[in-house]
Structure 1
Amino acid sequence: MRIFIWIVAMFMLTTACTIDKTDFESENNTVVPDDYEFKEVVSIDKGSYHIRVEALHGKLYKGYNEIRLRITEATTQAPIQEGKVTFLPVLTTLEGNKETCPNQYALTYDKAEEVYKGFSVFTQESTQGDWKITITMEDDNGTLTVSQPIAVEKQVNKNLNMTSFIGSDTESYLIALVAPLKPKVAENELVAAIYKLDSSNTAVGENDPTFKDKYVLAEDYTLLLDPRMPEPSMGNHSSPHNKDLVQKEDGFYYGIVNYTMTGNWTLNFILLNKAGLILKGTKVPTDFTPGVEGKKSELFIDTLF
């Protein structure tokens, strides 16, 4: 009788692992662009200027996006250098409301590459409304303003996933993964952007970076990290030498995640404010649980590489 029970238990465990492994392999076959080249998203001609907006793979995705602008004189193709350039995305929701997203408004000019650089964290895909970007440039010839509709697609690279939530302080927060774009089986520098929704502003207009509801950087917080492989076949195991994320001078949060193998990982987080109070997140059990799906924190982001 004991042998029969043991055989049944092993069959159920093997079946669970096989099903989970099948799902994992199917998900792992997801095609993720790996060229990591900046390509044209859209180009705009106005007056004597040609503006080329670039992003990775030539597409904009929900979550963190590095933005590059190439601005040239239309006839000579000479780059416009050291101008004052701003970049503002605005979403018109399905309900007709206008909102912005975490964004570097004033772009930085890279003299070596002759591009203006910044970033935007798009909070919604275009299925949830209409996105439009407004670009302004000020140089010796005056001020130029152009607007252009854009498409924001579903994020295909889970290493750039994001999550939004209400903290224990009843405030709205957003966490977006910034790096690594393509992790390695090693200790990886993990970079995240943490934003808080500030409703104290007065709305001015969609060509102005001031909105009633605007995301601002969360200052001096700490993001505790516990990475796990939650599939039953992986037993919810973790890895050594991980480091919690703390803020650096550029405003982003930096830590270390040690991926010991490829596959599905869950980044379990606990977000602490500057006073050390928990805003969101729970500790996960440390037990090794083969055959049982691992529990996740109240605050987590799934990744896959």
Structure 2
Amino acid sequence: MKTIKLGLVTILAAVGMISCSSDGDDSPKNDVNPLAEFNLIANIEANGHSLELYSEGKTGFTTGYNELFVRIKNNADDTYYTNPEITWLPVMHMMSMNHSCPISELSISDDYDTVATGYIVFQMPGNTDEFWDITFTYEVEGQEFSVTETIDVTAPSDGKQAVSSFMGSDDVRYVLAMVEPTDPKVAVNDIKAMLFKMESMMSFPIVENYSVALDPRMPSMGNHSSPNNEDLTYDAVTKAYNGKLSLTMTGYWKLNLKLLNSTGEVLKGEDITDENEASSLYFELEF
């Protein structure tokens, strides 16, 4: 994730603008946009405000892990609220039911107090009959507001699987999402994933202290694997599963996975053998 910081030049420029303004000019000034290099993927206007949603690398909402940055603008004077309290709830409206998905809390960025950050893991795309929306509830200047907006969630443009929703052998439904690598290279890459369980249709808490076995293969090259891979283990600080992914050449890779609980019982996925060329639990990469 890019660091959102105001540089020294920006600060000096801001000081210069203040010193050059007339004594009687106390009109609000536009904030320098700390997200100028990010993609604005939604602008929701309601209650005299604009909720701006940004992504670092994506141009829209896609299935899988979406890291998002949110700012709230006062449309009356084009200024942004500092330290807003924001909650969100995505809901998928299906033909027969409604459900949510894994999300984080929205927390204020360490680098800029008008920017809230968090993630959403969409486990399925919308279609012509079924759709996602997000409800934002937020408090600014002591007042609480709410707005619900329909959004378009699509499958990744490369068609590769980066999230899996499945029933484990313990009769629990899980969601496993790949977070990294976003820019894979011929090297030993860091691989990061997040694991959630469906506690209810609207609650998907993080699952701790499991493990994810990793066996990357190239189906077009005799299904060969690679050396120096490391299985994904839980990190209590990041609340994610981290490992090492060795990619020895460019092309299409299937990252075969097995999910194991804290006692080592396999809940989903299979070993790769001469008779079984792929696991039922996997991610995909092509670069």
Tell me the TM-score normalized by structure 2. 0.80
Q: State the match for 1:59 in structure 2.
A: 60
> How far is 1:111 from its partner?
4.8
Coordinate RMSD, CA, aligned: 2.0
Q: Does 1:299 align with 2:281?
A: yes
What's the CA shift string for 1:29-85, capped at 9, x where partnerless? Answer: xxxxxxxx6322221222342211123433000111111112122133222111211
Which ranges of 4 or more aligned residues in structure 1 deviate by more than 4 Å?
A: 157-160
What amino acid sits opposite 1:198 in the alignment? E
What's the CA shift string for 1:205-237, capped at 9, x where partnerless? Answer: xxxxxxx45222111100011111112xx1111
What's the CA shift string for 1:159-195, capped at 9, x where partnerless? Answer: 6611122111111111111111111111111011111
Which runs of 5 or more residues in structure 2 are unaligned?
1-36
Call closer, same or farther: CA 1:47–1:197 in 2, change over 3 Å.
closer
Please list, as runs of the form range in 1=range in 2, the aligned pairs for 1:33-112 lying within 5 A after superposition.
38-55=38-55, 56-95=57-96, 97-104=97-104, 106-112=105-111
Q: 1:283 is paired with a residue of what secondary structure?
A: coil
Q: 2:136 is paired with a residue of what secondary structure?
A: strand
Q: Aligned partners of 2:263, 2:141: CA distance in 1, in Å? A: 47
Q: Aligned partners of 2:226, 2:146: CA distance in 1, in Å? A: 50
Q: Aligned partners of 2:125, 2:54: CA distance in 1, in Å? A: 18
> Sequence identity of aligned pairs in percent?
34
Q: Aligned partners of 1:303, 1:70: CA distance in 2, in Å? A: 32
> How far is 1:250 from its partner?
2.1
Aligned pairs, how many? 247
Please list, as runs of the form range in 1=range in 2, the aligned pairs for 1:154-233 lying within 5 A after superposition.
154-157=155-158, 161-199=162-200, 212-231=201-220
Whether contact under 8 Å (2:65, 2:179) holds in the other structure is yes
Which runs of 5 or more residues in structure 1 are unaligned?
1-36, 200-211, 288-292
Q: Aligned partners of 2:76, 2:69: CA distance in 1, in Å? A: 21
The counterpart of 2:232, out of the listed 245, 253, 261, is 245
Q: Aligned partners of 2:171, 2:202: CA distance in 1, in Å? A: 15
Q: State the match for 1:282 in structure 2.
A: 270
Tell me the TM-score normalized by structure 1. 0.76
Q: 1:177 is paired with a residue of what secondary structure?
A: strand
